[in-house]
Structure 1
Amino acid sequence: MPKVMAQGKTFDCEVGAILRTVLLKNGVDLHNGQSKLINCRGLGSCGTCAVQIDGEVSEVSWRDRTRRSLPPHNPDCDLRLACQTRVLGDVRVTKYTEFWGQGMEPQWTPESS
């Protein structure tokens, strides 16, 4: 079973599990500020679940690539949408500041909340 490290927590998940579901199920604050209330609930259309991922995950989907090509995201940034990403092996997840998670400073890291 893959291990996921996020917001100072480590937990197991099934291979192929959707990262957004895994993070929320384990009490990780995936959405910044009001995006906790105003988000697409995993449809890949809002972009508020953008995170940086280090580890083995699925290829970037067209929905992920398309949404992150629109402002305020930058397609050259190495973020992924958690709702469009499947966990294939151990991963370390970092969330950045700003409403969409596109900020320059970490909101939380794998090691700290």
Structure 2
Amino acid sequence: MPMVEFQGKKIHCQVGDNLRQVLLKNDAPLYNGKAKYINCMGIGSCGTCAVQILGEVNSPNWKDKARRFLWPHSPEKDLRLACQTKVLGDIKVIKYAGFWGEKTHF
């Protein structure tokens, strides 16, 4: 059973669980500011659930790749959309500041 570490919280989930759903189900603050209310609800179009992930997850799908090509994200940044990510093993999740959780440094 994989473990998700997020802001000091450790959450267990099933292999293949959606990262966004795991975090929200466990009251983890995935969204910054008003993005909590203004987001695409997990369809991969807004980019507000962008996080850095260390550990084993699925390869980025086309929605994840496409959205990260749009401002303020960039395909060169090592971020993923939590809503399009499946947990495959133990991971550490890092959320950056900004409405979209955009990482300002490479």
- Give the shorter-chain TM-score range: over 0.9
CA drift at 1:7: 1.4
- Whether 2:51 is the aligned partner of 1:68: answer no
Correspondences of 1:46-65 after superposition (within 5 Å)? 46-65=46-65
Which one-letter code corresponds to 2:93 in the other structure?
V
Partner of 1:35: 35
Matched, 1:95 2:100: no
Amino acid at match of 1:24: L
Q: Which runs of 5+ in 2 are unaligned?
A: none
Report if the CA contact (8 A) 2:77-2:103 is conserved.
no
Question: Could you tell me the TM-score, scaled by structure 1's length?
Answer: 0.90
Deviation at 1:104, TM superposition (A): 3.1
CA RMSD, Structure 1 to Structure 2 (Å): 1.0
C-alpha separation in 2, matches of 1:37 and 1:11: 23
User: 1:74 deviation in Å?
Assistant: 1.0
User: How many equivalent residue pairs?
Assistant: 105
Give the corresponding residue for 2:9.
9
Residue of structure 2 equivalent to 1:108: none
Deviation of the 1:8 alpha carbon:
1.0
Within 1, Cα distance between the matches of 2:104 and 2:8?
19
Instruction: Tell me how far apart the structure 1 counterparts of residues 81 and 75 of structure 2 sit (CA, whole Å).
Output: 12
The CA distance in 2 between the partners of 1:65 and 1:23, in whole Å, is 21
Contact 2:3 2:11 in 1 (8 A): yes
Q: Tell me the amino acid that sits aligned with residue 51 of structure 1.
A: V
- Structure 1 portions without partners, runs of 5+: 106-113
TM-score, scaled to structure 2? 0.96
1:104 is aligned to 104
After TM superposition, give the deviation of residue 27 of structure 1 in Å: 1.1
Cα distance in 2 between the residues matched to 1:103 and 1:66? 17
Structure 1: distance between partners of 2:7 and 2:45:
24
Structure 2 letter corresponding to 1:5? E
**Amino acid aligned to 2:6:** A
- Report the 3-state secondary structure (helix = DSSP H, G, I; strand = E; otherwise coil) of the residue aligned with 1:14: coil
Give the deviation of 1:19 after TM superposition: 0.2
* Percent identity between the two aligned chains: 60
